Amino acid sequence: MLPVASLLILVPLIFAVVTFFTKTKELAAGLGFLGSLATLGLTLYAYLNFDSSTAAMQFYESVSWIPFLGVNYSVGIDGISMPLILLNAIVIPFLILFTWKEDMEAPNRFYGLILTMQAAVIGVFVALDFVVFYIFWELTLVPLFFIVNIWGGEKRAHASYKFFIYTHVASLVMLLGIFGLFYTALQQTGVATFDIRELVAQFQFFESGLVRDGIFLAILFGFLAKLPTFPFHSWLPDAYTEAPTAGSVLFILLKIGGYGLFRISLPMLPNTGNPDMMIMMLGLLGSFSILYGALVALRQRDLKRMIAYSSLSHMGYVTLGSAGLVALSVSGAMFQQFSHGLIMSIMFMSAGAIQTSTGTRIINELGGLAKKMPMLTVAMMVGFMASLGLPGLTGFIAEFLVLTFSFVNLPGFVLLALLAIVITAGYHLWAMQRAMFGVYNEKLGDVRDINSLQVFSMAVIALLVLYFGLNPSPVLNMMIENSEAIVSLVAAVGV
């Protein structure tokens, strides 16, 4: 069988290197698209050969790297990582098509960084050794920093440095937790290893509850800051808003915080010194993020900034569903990551297209754009309706699972999150009505609809939002087995 996990990293990385040396926009975009298609092909091969009936690791590879430290190049794919790899592989080719006709500085670097980002994110998803995991985790910072810093808006320098510093500091705290996990396990067993699954399994035997709590919180902090969740989110609005459209979509595809929550934090949680407190903390952060993000989104005048806060609100469902610790609440949180990636890609593409055509993102300065941009309006409507949780679209499936099954263990936090549903519907409908419908603002001049490549890109993603909203099983089935495995760990210790 093909070494699929390694190829999913190497293929976009090789194409990225070649793309950096291209001389024309057409060649850079063409190679970027070809590299993303090759990655999509490998992903579909993995998906079609993936066994959804087991939580076991598949496509496993392991090679000794630094033997005296117990560091191995170990990679594999399971039901936690496969949906997120699929999400990235699907969206990136259409993101490149969406930007195909844009005028930009240094297109070779632009498309090379997109592919580098894809390789780094997939590297995080398949890594089964903490050293490999952390290398790819940190590598994701580099392309995003430069994409915002070079091609971003007026405040791009501030936004890029803020993003880099905030998330890098959180990553260093996480690294301290990883080292704590490594050294404590080494003292107990005498065996050096950075294997994620072995160290997480060994965590329960650490004698000191205080040490277990410290390690757990340090690692969790890195994940929550990257997710992000309130109150570790302050880098998000500036970074998402100032990034170019492609950069905003790449931020949305950066699901490594939520992934770390499922891969590492949840299996560790029942063995912390005070698991009930940790669950309450996650539930509070999740429900408050949902409500806070919705309230702040309602106040925004800038369409893109409104979408950024909407993203924060929706990622709160990931934290809340994880804290619910019921198999289907955890599955709903996983599905929210997949759904959110598709929906927010449409929404940020819409905001970018509006800014390009009209020269503004201020909602009150828009109006009646449906008359001039009917194709964009249809795609944007699908994204906005999915985001507010309309039945039949992916957003409804994820939120329904999280709220319904988290209520079993966390009824108070679910009721708090329910307050955000009306607010969420309000700011989505208000923004659509003010920007796209009503009387056309003649001050906008001659506004053109999105081009054919952009129509195709957004239409395909919108159709996937509809398809997986009506038939979530092809993705959800992969998640359920792993969710049940996580919840069984909790039940085993009586939490």
Give burial (CB, 10 Å; 0-12/13-18/19+) of 441.
middle
pTM for this one? 0.94
Judge contact between 466 and 321, C-beta under 8 A.
no
Backbone phi and psi for residue 72, each to the nearest 5 degrees, phi listed first: -125, 150
pLDDT digits (tens, 9 = 90+) for 314-365: 999 999 999 999 999 999 999 999 999 999 999 999 999 999 999 899 998 8
Judge whether residue 490 has pLDDT over 80.
no
Q: Assign 445 a pLDDT band (cuts: 50, 70, 90).
A: confident
pLDDT tens for 164-220 read 999 999 999 999 999 999 999 999 888 999 999 999 999 988 888 899 999 999 999
What are the structure tokens assigned to 260, written together? 């770390």
Distances in whole angstroms, Cα of residue 58 to Cα of each of 2, 46, 120, 136, 194:
12, 9, 20, 20, 19
Residue with tokens 């506004």: 447
Task: Choose between 444 and 122: higher pLDDT.
Answer: 122
Tell me how far apart the alpha carbons of residues 98 and 270 are, in angstroms, rounded to a whole number.
44
Output the CA–CA distances (angstroms, integers) from residue 108 to 105, 111, 142, 148, 256, in the order listed. 9, 6, 16, 16, 26
Is the per-residue pLDDT at 442 higher than 90? Answer: no
> 12 is written with which tokens?
């976009």
Q: What pLDDT is recorded for position 494?
A: 57
Mean pLDDT confidence for 92-106: 93
Q: What's the confidence (pLDDT) of residue 103?
A: 85
Q: Where are the domains of the chain?
A: 1-273, 286-494
Half-sphere exposure of 206 (CA within 13 A, CB side): 27
Contacts of 228 (CB under 8 A, 6+ apart): 235, 236, 257, 312, 315
Per-residue pLDDT tens digits for 14-27: 999 999 999 899 99
Q: What is the pLDDT of residue 493?
A: 62
The answer to whether 440 and 367 have CB atoms below 8 angstroms apart is yes
